[in-house]
Amino acid sequence: MDWFLSIIRVAGASFPVASSLVQLQAEIGSKMLLQRISKFEDPISHLHHDVSEVSRQIYRKLKHDNDVKFEFDEEFYKKYSRVLAVLEMKGYIKGCHTLGRKYANGFRLVDPSYIMYLCFMEEENEKMKSLVKLVDDCEVGQWLDGHRMNIDLALPIIKAVFDIYESKGFGLCSKESGTCKYMGKS
């Protein structure tokens, strides 16, 4: 294909048919460039063609169960085994495997950035803006308790935002089991 496009560029408008092919080549080039740019803007969706569908199902379960550990039926694991393998290889999920059986005890979401990707795809923008504003405005020494926040979001979403802010050095997350607390430190 590259050789054909090169020939078209050289021929240019010198030949009647070539001028329309030059336009086609420009359109193909811009479409390919847009695809490459979109991979940088949304690298997760480009991991596998079913990532978006699987992610939507995971998000619905996250909201329903209010947890980051999931168990789906066997059909889900068979149908989406490659997508789950890619997500696990990238570190977004961690499967609970047994000898001879993948996801025997389901899987866990382990990367807060993947949870934010899920929110980007499915959650209401205003709710996320409210949460981020609360964490952004958290003063030094002030504690935010995810269990007591007046935002209609699943606890794992709030925890993921806390974890992201902590990873940037802006605050600290409580390590006490069963809590979802964040203290501002800068």
- In tens, the pLDDT along 32-91 reads 554 544 444 557 887 888 999 999 999 999 999 999 999 999 999 999 999 999 999 999
Enter the pTM of the model. 0.76
Summarised one tens digit per residue, pLDDT across range 166-177 is: 999 999 999 998
In a domain, 117, yes or no: no
Together in a domain, 36 and 64: no
Together in a domain, 64 and 107: yes
Bridge partners of 109, per DSSP, are 93
pLDDT surpassing 90 at residue 2: no
Q: Could you give the residue ranges of the DSSP H alpha helices within the chain?
A: 2-11, 16-41, 51-65, 74-79, 81-89, 112-122, 125-136, 155-167
Residue that is last in its domain, among 82, 112, 142: 112
Residue that is last in its domain, among 91, 112, 133: 112
Residues 21 and 17: their CA atoms lie apart, in Å, by: 7
In a domain, 55, yes or no: yes
The predicted pLDDT at position 97 comes to 85
Together in a domain, 179 and 139: yes
Together in a domain, 37 and 52: no
Bridge partners of 181, per DSSP, are 145
Together in a domain, 35 and 53: no
Please give the C-alpha separations between residue 34 and each of 14, 28, 118, in angstroms, as whole numbers. 29, 10, 23
Together in a domain, 52 and 104: yes
Backbone phi and psi for residue 110, each to the nearest 5 degrees, phi listed first = -120, -5
The predicted pLDDT at position 3 comes to 43
The predicted pLDDT at position 31 comes to 58
Residue 163, SS3? helix
In a domain, 118, yes or no: no
Backbone phi and psi for residue 128, each to the nearest 5 degrees, phi listed first = -65, -40
Name the residue range of residue 14's domain. 2-41
Summarised one tens digit per residue, pLDDT across range 116-163 is: 999 988 999 899 999 999 999 999 999 999 999 999 999 999 999 999
Q: What's the structural domain count of the chain?
A: 3
Handedness of CA 168, 172, 175, 177 (dihedral sign): negative
In a domain, 119, yes or no: no
Residue that is last in its domain, among 60, 80, 112: 112
Together in a domain, 18 and 36: yes
